[in-house]
Amino acid sequence: MEIINPVIKFADIFHNLSDDIISFQELDIKNTDEIHSYTSDVDVSRYIGWRLMLHREETYEHIETMLKREAAGTHLYASVVLKETGAVIGTVMLFDFHFDTSIAEIGYVFHKDYWGKGYGTRSVALICEFAEHKLKLKRLTASVVDENISSARILIKNSFLLEERVKGEYQIDGRTCDKLVLCKSL
């Protein structure tokens, strides 16, 4: 009997998660310009693990890399779409799967025009529900730069708790910053 990677098996469900305000959709290179509007923004990229992408081609290649990771079953990615306008406002991800211990990591990034409007909190809630009910995970983790208070707040609103502070993990704008590891039991 062939064992199907649960990441691949449930990718279509992940790409179609939604609530009354936002929906997820499969990453698509046709959205390169919209995605580039935030991957090329210094304020957005400051605390994200992605490097600043000054040229559209870099964003295009980054999307291709994400699509390859998803096809390999190591990551799930989705664009976050504002239902009212159809605009791509961010990207969410679920990765670093450890099915033997039922753990994975989440991440998210949003265009700064959509910060502080609850879209991150909604997106994380959708991911948590999916991880628990479809992937049957027991725990989610997220890593945040300690200065990124807004991102930590999104996680705390979704019942994540601070588990670890790793001193001096990041260099941001010439400063040494700590990594906060937040976790949620599902």
In the chain, where are the structural domains located?
6-137
- Mean pLDDT confidence for 111-121: 97
What pTM was estimated for this model as a whole?
Answer: 0.95
Closest listed residue to residue 77, CA positions, set 135, 25, 139, 4: 25
Looking at residue 116, its pLDDT comes to: 96
For the chain, the average pLDDT equals 95
Contacts of 104 (CB under 8 A, 6+ apart): 94, 95, 96, 97, 98, 131, 135, 137, 140, 141
pLDDT of 4 higher than 70: no
Q: Name the CATH architecture for the domain at 6-137.
A: 3-Layer(aba) Sandwich (3.40)
Write down the pLDDT at residue 132. 97
Q: Return all residues near 144 (Cβ < 8 A) that are at least 6 apart.
A: 47, 151, 152, 155, 179, 180, 182
d(CA 63, CA 68): 9
What's the pLDDT at 6? 80
State mean pLDDT over 43-61: 92
Residue where the block lists tokens 């400063």: 175
Res. 81 pLDDT band, cuts 50 70 90:
very high
Does 2 have pLDDT greater than 60?
Answer: no
